[in-house]
Amino acid sequence: MPAERLTRKGAAPAPGIVHLGPGAFFRAFNAIYTEEAMAASGGDWGIVAVSLRSAGPRDQLAPQGCAYTAVELGPEGAKPRVIGSICRCLVAPEDPEAVLAAMADPAVRIVSMTITEKGYCHNPATGRLNPSHPDIVHDLAGPGWPVSAPGYLVEALARRRAAGLAPFTVLTCDNLPSNGRLARDIVLDFARARDAGLAEWIAAEGRFPATMVDRITPATTEADIAALEAAEGYRDAAMVAHEPFRQWVIEDDFVGGARPAWERAGAQMVGSVEAHELMKLRCLNGTHSTLAYLGYLAGHETIAETVAAPGFARLCERLWEEEILPTVPQPEGEDLPAYAVALLERYRNPAIRHRTWQIAMDGSQKLPQRILGTVADDLAAGRVPEGLCLGVAGWMRYVGGVDEKGAAIDVRDPLAGRLKAASDGAETAEGKVAALLGFAEVFPSALAGDARFRDAVTRAYAGLLAEGAAQAVVEVAGR
Ligand code: CS2
C-alpha cells in the first residue's frame, strides 16, 4: 500500500510575510527561522510562498496544507522535523492578482526573496536594473500583470501607497554582495521608470535590509523522498534535506521595526552585514564554485566526493590562506581561519549529496561576486591568485559544453548559448580565454585587460586541456 501523504496538524499561522522563491533553500532556512521565532515569541508571521514561475512548489505543498519535512543530515544521522510556517502557496503566472493582493495586504509587513542571482534582472557588472531585460520590458509596458520580481515589488508598493499603507520591508536573501542596496536600486530604477512620485515615496519610506544567508541545501531527489518514507512511514513531496549548520546575519532596519523575533532562533541582528557577506561569498561560495567546475570536469558528482579526491581539499586550504582571506575584512565576532576550517568539514559531510552540476549553474551570474572581486583585490595587492585563476579557467572549460571524455555538458546559464558560441569560435587556449574575457557582463574591463590575469587563466586553461582537471588541481595544490 502506498504510504500516506504528510498533512498539516492544526491551523496555519495568519500571514505576515510574502516570500518570493519557495525553493529548497527557503524551506530549509527562512521558513525554519520564522517557525522558531513564532514558537519563541508569537506574532502572526505566517508565510505566503509565491513561486514566480513553476507550479512545482505549490503542487508539492498545497495538498499537504503547506506543511513539509526538513531533514537535518548530520553526523548522528537524519533528523526530520515538520515545519508549518508556510500558510499559503501561490503560483504567480496563474494568478498575478492574488499575489499582488497578498503583497498589498495590510497584515503583510515583509516581502522576502530567494530568487537567485538572475531574478534581480540586473546588470551584474553595474548592479543596476537592466532596462532591456525582456521581463522588465514586459513589466514596464503593463505594470498590472507583472512577471519579474522588480515588477511585482513595485506594483504592490504602488497599491500600498494608493491605499495609504506603509510599504513592506523588502528582505533579500540571495547570495549577492550588498544585496540590500542592490534590491533597493533595482526597485527604485523600476519605480522611476513608472512614476517619479512613487520612486520618491519608496526611497523615503521603504526599507531594504541586507542579509547574509548560509545553509547548504542540495536540490531534493526522489531518493531523499523515498528515504524519508522508509524511515517515517509517510510520503512528503515537499521535503528538503539540509546540513546542520546555519547562519543568518540581518541588518536590523525594518519598516516600523516590524519583524519576527528571528534573533530568538539564532539570527544575528546587526548594524552592517557587509563584512559577513564578503566573508561568506568569497570563502564559501568562491571555493564552492571552484570545486564545482573543477570537480565536475574531473568526473565527480558531488562536493563531498570532490573534496575527498587528491588535491582538492588542499587546493581549498591554499585558496583560503593565500588568495581569499587576505582580501576579507574581519567581521565582528568571526574567527576567519576557524571559519575556513569549518567550511572544509561542511563540504566533507558525506550525507549531503550536493551535486557539482547544481552549483555550476548560472556561473555568469555568480563568478563576479564569488571569485572575480577577490582576484581583482589580489592583483591590486601585487599577488597573482593562481588557484582562483584555475577556477576561472575551469568555468571557461565547463561553458565550452564538452567534458573531458568528449560528452556534452548540460550547461544551465542565461548566457549559455553565447558563451558556447564564443568558446567554439576560437581554436586555441589563448583564443578561447580572450573570447570569454570579452563578456563585459561578467568581467569588468580592468580585470579583462590585466595581462597578469589573462596569462594566468590562459596557462591554467591550457593545463586543463593538456592534462585534465584532476591533475591540474594536484599540481596547483602542491605548488
Ligand atoms: C552554492 C550555494 O548553489 C550554489 O551556488 O554555492 O547555494 C551554497 O550552497 C549556499 O550559498 C550555502 O549557504
pTM of the model: 0.96
Nearest alpha carbon, ligand 1 atom 1: 359
How much is the pLDDT for 125?
A: 74
Nearest alpha carbon, ligand 1 atom 6: 285
Q: Give the chain's end-to-end CA distance (angstroms, integer).
A: 58
3-state secondary structure of 16: strand
**200 alpha carbon to ligand 1 midpoint, in Å?**
35
Q: What is the mean pLDDT of residues 253-258?
A: 98
Taking the CA of residue 289 as reference, the ligand 1 atom at the shortest distance is 6
Digit-coded pLDDT (tens) for 125-136: 788 999 999 999
DSSP 324-342: IGGGS---TT--HHHHHHH
DSSP 414-452: TTHHHHHHHHHT--SHHHHHHHHHT-TTTS-HHHHT-HH
Nearest alpha carbon, ligand 1 atom 4: 359
CA distance 101 to 55: 19
**25 alpha carbon to ligand 1 midpoint, in Å?**
9
Whether the predicted pLDDT of 1 surpasses 80: no
**359 alpha carbon to ligand 1 midpoint, in Å?**
7
Q: What is the mean pLDDT of residues 101-116?
A: 98
How much is the pLDDT for 479?
A: 82
% pLDDT > 90, the chain: 97
Digit-coded pLDDT (tens) for 63-93: 999 999 999 999 889 999 999 999 999 999 9
**428 alpha carbon to ligand 1 midpoint, in Å?**
32
Nearest alpha carbon, ligand 1 atom 11: 214
**321 alpha carbon to ligand 1 midpoint, in Å?**
21
How much is the pLDDT for 387?
A: 98
Digit-coded pLDDT (tens) for 13-66: 999 999 999 999 999 999 999 999 999 999 999 999 999 999 999 999 999 999
Amino acid letter at 398? Y
**456 alpha carbon to ligand 1 midpoint, in Å?**
26
Q: Tell which one of 27, 216, 246, 356 to mutate to probe ligand 1, the residue whose CB is within 8 A of the most ligand atoms.
A: 216
How much is the pLDDT for 439?
A: 96
Q: Kindly provide the b/e burial profile for residues 189-218, where b requires at least 16 CB atoms within 10 angstroms of the residue's own CB.
A: bbbbbbeeebbebbeeebbbbbbbbbbbbb
Digit-coded pLDDT (tens) for 169-193: 999 999 999 999 999 999 999 999 9
Whether the predicted pLDDT of 123 surpasses 90: no
Nearest alpha carbon, ligand 1 atom 9: 216
Within 44-95, residue ranges assigned H as helices are 56-61
Taking the CA of residue 25 as reference, the ligand 1 atom at the shortest distance is 7
Taking the CA of residue 366 as reference, the ligand 1 atom at the shortest distance is 5
Which domains does the chain carry? 15-270 (3.40.50.720), 274-477 (1.10.1040.10)
3-state secondary structure of 149: helix
How much is the pLDDT for 283?
A: 98
What are the backbone dihedrals phi and psi of residue 159, each rounded to the nearest 5 degrees, phi first?
-65, -35
**281 alpha carbon to ligand 1 midpoint, in Å?**
9
Taking the CA of residue 218 as reference, the ligand 1 atom at the shortest distance is 9
Digit-coded pLDDT (tens) for 146-172: 999 999 999 999 999 999 999 999 999
Q: Tell which one of 114, 176, 285 to mutate to probe ligand 1, the residue whose CB is within 8 A of the most ligand atoms.
A: 285
> Can you read off the three cell numbers belonging to residue 188?
527604485
Taking the CA of residue 215 as reference, the ligand 1 atom at the shortest distance is 13
User: E strands within 173-305?
Assistant: 211-214, 234-235, 240-242, 247-251, 268-270
Contacts with 41 (C-beta within 8 Å, 6 or more apart), sequence order: 260, 261, 264
**442 alpha carbon to ligand 1 midpoint, in Å?**
19
How much is the pLDDT for 348?
A: 97
3-state secondary structure of 276: helix
Residues framing ligand 1 (Cβ under 6 A): 175, 214-216, 284-285, 288, 358-359
Confidence of residue 2 (pLDDT cuts 50, 70, 90): confident
More confident: 307 or 76: 307
DSSP 340-372: HHHHHHHHH-TT---BHHHHHTTHHHHHIIIII
